[in-house]
Amino acid sequence: MKLTTLIIGCGDIGTHLGNQLVAQGHRVIGVRRNTAALQETGIEPLALDLDTLDTGKPSALPQADYVIYAVSADRFEESAYQSAYPEGLKRVLSVLEQQATPPRRVFFVSSTSVYGQQEGEVVSEESPTDPTSFSGSLMCQAEQALLDHSLPGTVVRFSGIYGPGRDRLIHQVAEGRISPVTPVIYSNRIHRDDCAGILAHLIECQENHQDVASLYLGSDNEPVTLHNVMLWLAQQLKVEASDTMQSPLRRRVSKRCDNHRIRETGYEFRFPTFREGYRQVLEKGGFLASEKA
């Protein structure tokens, strides 16, 4: 049966997910303020600003079997995060709950910024959240709004997302900069393709009558220190790191993400560690010395 998926905030991850679902024969509607980027895809564009969403009309959003809420704040300010996450998601839920045929499940794309651990602790879906930033606190509020709602909902907390076009760390290393060995700062990553892959996989799980939990942690198989990631990149780029980066205060958040729950559903990572993932980014972006020659 052909499914309809509504992706609200159809940016990089949403577009990649949408293309994957379209290739499987599903109908996908992508919501953005500006839909120009969706014109060359098989995703049906819907221009919409959530700030003006009419929460009194069930028809304010099209009916769909699945809804993915993957909105990004347009700037790193508390007011922008408040609007994009708890307020925006609540508006969407208010519309969806009025529809004659509500979605089978709503997915909220969240972040591991909800964790405040700083000493390299292992965190999982069972770990307490104690965010140290307004962004993490507002993400927590949005998560709770979905989990408290009557509609079936699942939160997916992604760690540091990278992939084609998300190459700031590569440029830093290419300039000879590297994170210090100490203090030890663990970082966690997930490739953009695996973000989309996890969401598509969870939809498939529900369609196959497999239990879908209310919360998953989306991160690859190897938490690793930021120093070691940058050192590996320097080796691939054949550059000598000569400048030790100063760690900004917000970098003091250090944790190791445990992804057992999502792997137990049968999901297999396309990029199990940063090595496979960054190798793809390096090759696609033409960063390797052999490709520049």
Q: What is the mean pLDDT of the chain?
A: 93
> Residue 132: what pLDDT?
83
pLDDT tens profile 195-212? 999 999 999 999 999 999
> Residue 1: what pLDDT?
65
> Residue 149: what pLDDT?
97
**Residue 58: C-alpha distances to residues 20, 101, 150 (Å):** 28, 10, 16
> Residue 81: what pLDDT?
95
> Residue 92: what pLDDT?
98
Q: What is the mean pLDDT of residues 60-78?
A: 96
Per-residue pLDDT band for 250 (boundaries 50, 70, 90) equals: very low
Residue 29 β-bridge partners: 6, 44
Q: Report how far residue 232's alpha carbon sits from residue 62's, in angstroms, rounded to the nearest whole number.
A: 46
Q: What is the mean pLDDT of residues 246-251?
A: 48
The share of the chain scoring above pLDDT 90, in percent, equals 83
Q: Indicate the pairing of strand 105-111 with strand 153-158.
A: parallel
**Residue 141: C-alpha distances to residues 8, 90, 272, 279 (Å):** 18, 10, 30, 36
Q: Is the pLDDT of residue 252 over 80?
A: no
pTM: 0.94
> Residue 162: what pLDDT?
96
- Which residue from 72, 61, 213, 53 is spatially nearest to 142, judged by alpha carbons? 72
* Domains (range + CATH), the chain: 4-163+189-220+257-270 (3.40.50.720)
Per-residue pLDDT band for 286 (boundaries 50, 70, 90) equals: confident
Q: Report how far residue 268's alpha carbon sits from residue 177's, in angstroms, rounded to the nearest whole number.
A: 33
Per-residue pLDDT band for 276 (boundaries 50, 70, 90) equals: very high
Top-confidence residue, 27 or 291: 27
Q: Is the pLDDT of residue 2 over 60?
A: yes
Q: Report how far residue 274's alpha carbon sits from residue 224's, in angstroms, rounded to the nearest whole number.
A: 9
Q: Report how far residue 2's alpha carbon sits from residue 229's, in angstroms, rounded to the nearest whole number.
A: 42
pLDDT tens profile 95-137? 999 999 999 999 999 999 999 888 899 999 999 998 888 999 9
